[in-house]
Amino acid sequence: MSTIRPDELAARLGDDGPFLLDIRPRKSYDDRRIEGSTNVPVYGDLRSGDEAALRDRLDEIPDDREVVTVCKQGVVAKRATKILDDEGYDATTLKGGMGGWHGYQHDTLGYKLRSLLWRLL
């Protein structure tokens, strides 16, 4: 399964960049999000094993470009990425989720350490 680091994603954002699918609950999305992302709030459903919640909303996700899935820390987004892969999408998970993105934007020590580990592994 494909993943992308926050710094890699930042370099690819723009008109021709990937479609950003944020699966977190609406309130979390409203509080903090990546500019240009789209919220399809199926986090709770996927976390509890209900894949139908995302499958029922595939018409909201373009199938002609890469999709980067985003959640809180990246764990549940991996489930979304797998579902999208199974449905024929070119899907990738944002490593570290919004926590990783926030750390990247604010250049936190935690992000620097995680980023170093990601590069080494």
- What is the Cα–Cα distance from 67 to 20, expressed in whole angstroms? 6
Please indicate whether residue 71 is annotated as part of the active site. Answer: yes
The pair of structure tokens assigned to 54 is 């995302």
Annotated catalytic residue: which of 61, 71, 76, 94? 71
Start-to-end CA span in the chain (Å): 15
- SS3 of 104, please? helix
Q: Which residues are tagged catalytic?
A: 71
